[in-house]
Amino acid sequence: MSATTRDRFLGGRLTLHQPKSGYRAGVDPVLLAAAVNARPGQSVLDLGCGVGAAALCLGARVPGLRLTGLELQPGYAALARRNAEDNRLPLDVIEGDVAAMPPALRERRFDHVIMNPPYFDRAAGTAAREAPREAALGGAVSLDIWIGEAAKRLLPKGYLHIIQRVERLPELLEHARARLGSLQLLPLTPRPGRDSQLVILRARKEGRAAFRLHAGLVVHDGETHDIDRENYAATIRAVLRDGAPLPFPE
C-alpha cells in the first residue's frame, strides 16, 4: 500500500500506519481491546487483525502479552508488522484465511481470541467499491466460521471477545452458544436514550455461567452533538485517550 497515514491512538501512546483510503481502524478496535481481561504473560490471537489496531492497543495496555495476528490481505499484514515494530510491541503476523486456517495456527491454542469480523452480511447488503474495504466490512466468511475457528483456537477456560453490529446479534449469539459458554453482552449506546448500535460479546470455552446482559455503555455525552468538539463520555474518553480498560464486569 503506497498511500498511508500515521495516526495517533491512546492519546499518542500508540501510532499506526494505515491506508489513506479503504478500511481504516477507528474507535471500534480500541474499545474491543479495552474489553479484554488479559493478564501479563498470556497469549492472544487477533483474527482478521488488519493493521494491528486491536492487538497493539491491548499490548500497549497489558505488558508482557504474546500477541499473534491473522490477516488475509498482504498489504494490511505488512502494515501490522510495521506498526508492531514502530511501537516496539511483539505482534507476530501470519497471512492467511480464517476459513482455511494456516498450518502455523492450526495446532496452536491461546488464552484469548479477539476479533472484529465483517459487520455486514453481503446476502443482505451492497458491496463496497474498494476491494480491501469490502473484505473488511463484508467479506465472504460467515459468522459461524469465524466463531467456530475462534473456539478451536482457545485453550480450556480461554476467552473470546467480539465487537459486532447489533443487527447481527441473533446469529452471533446462536453460533457462540453452540460452541462456548458464560456469554456476557455489553451493548454500546451512541447517546443517552438512543438504541444500541454495537455490542461486545465475551464468551468462555467450557464456561458454565448463566447468560448476562449488562447495562448499555453510553459512548457520547448529551442527547445530540451540538458543539464543535469531541464529547465522549468520561469512561470512553479514558479508554481512547489513556488506554484504560472498559468496565466489563466479571
Dump pLDDT digits (tens) for 147-205.
999 999 999 999 999 999 999 999 999 999 999 999 999 999 999 989 999 999 999 99
Instruction: Using alpha carbons, list the distances in angstroms from residue 73 to 45, 57, 92, 134.
Output: 17, 20, 15, 11
- Global pTM value: 0.89
List the beta bridge partners of residue 93. 69
With a pLDDT cut of 70, the percent of the chain lying above it is 87
**What is the reported pLDDT for 119?**
86
26-242: what CATH class?
alpha beta
Q: Are the CB atoms for 16 and 81 separated by under 8 Å?
A: no
Q: Which of 28, 9, 2 is nearest to 117 (CA)?
A: 28
Above 70 in pLDDT, residue 130? no
Least confident piece of the model among 98-112, 118-132, 178-192: 118-132
Confidence at residue 141, expressed as pLDDT on a 0 to 100 scale: 86
Here the cell at position 103 is 498450518
Give yes or no for a contact between 188 and 200, defined as CB atoms under 8 angstroms apart.
Answer: yes
Q: Is the pLDDT of residue 237 over 70?
A: yes
> Which of the four pLDDT bands, split at 50, 70 and 90, describes residue 139?
low
Q: Tell me what the pLDDT averaged over the chain comes to.
A: 90
Whether residue 25 has pLDDT greater than 80:
yes
